[in-house]
Copies of this chain bind each other. A is one copy, B any other.
Amino acid sequence: MERTDTAGYDPRARRLNRRIVVRAALDLVDADGLEALSMRRLGQALGRDPMALYRHAASRKELLAGVVELVLEEVEVFPDDGTSWEEQLRRMAHELRRVCLLHPNVVPVIVTGPLSTPLGLRPAGTLKPLEQVLGLLIDAGFTPADALHVYRAFYGFLYGHILNELQELIADPEENEALLRLGLQRLPLRDFPHLRRMAPELLEYNGEQELDQGMSILLSGLSQQFAPAAAI
């Protein structure tokens, strides 16, 4: 009944541990959104006193950080196959997008959370992708400084795209169409002439394709702006 078994573990089974708590928190956020994650509700989901959670997470913020880490662990990190650095970046982008779409409610925390957590102090899991990309680029012949620039452009664009995509397709497409047209109708024609004609294009949004296209743009710009010194 209620919300006792959010996943597979039945409550009171055995002692809590951090994994279980964070996992349950993620389930709760996935199911009911960020605001639904309160210590009391989470305690209830686990069949424990809310205060029990504090043995495994220092605070709500810290718990959320754990949730982010857990989500990022879902990102599959592929070994360096032989393909070009461009193709590898492209694949990593799609992979991160995939995971983010599985946990849309967590995305705001992912992109916004590490604010005010200085880079050096972040959990190792969060830094792993950075290291990987740097290695990839340096191996491809970039100087360390350029690799850093490329990394920033890459992740900047990627995060930006994911945010945009989540904004674009919230409601189900059915009522989305009506809503969009109605919304556009509301705009004064003289102030928004172009936007009002965009309804068909706005409805045909395809996130994967859009990301791929964006990546093409970015990568083509990248390899034009920074030519890697040695292509082996």
Listed in ascending order, the chain A residues whose CB lies under 8 Å from chain B are 108, 111-112, 114-122, 124, 127-128, 130-131, 134-135, 138, 144-145, 147-149, 152-153, 155-161, 163-164, 166-168, 170-171, 176, 179-184, 186-188, 191-195, 197-198, 201-202, 210, 213-214, 216-222, 224-225
Contact = CB atoms under 8 A, between A and B. Distances in A.
A84 to B, nearest CB: 16
B149 A156 contact: no
Nearest to A158: B160
Which DSSP category, helix, strand, loop or mixed, fits chain A's interface? helix
B187 A124 contact: yes
Given A118-B180, A156-B164, A160-B160, 20 more contacts: A108-B115, A118-B170, A119-B183, A119-B202, A130-B195, A131-B191, A134-B194, A148-B201, A148-B202, A149-B213, A153-B217, A155-B164, A156-B161, A156-B163, A157-B160, A158-B160, A160-B161, A217-B221, A217-B224, A224-B224
B116 A170 contact: yes
Contacts of A181: 120
A197 B144 contact: yes
Nearest to A182: B120
A205 to B, nearest CB: 9
A195 B156 contact: no
A109 to B, nearest CB: 9
A98 to B, nearest CB: 17
A52 to B, nearest CB: 25
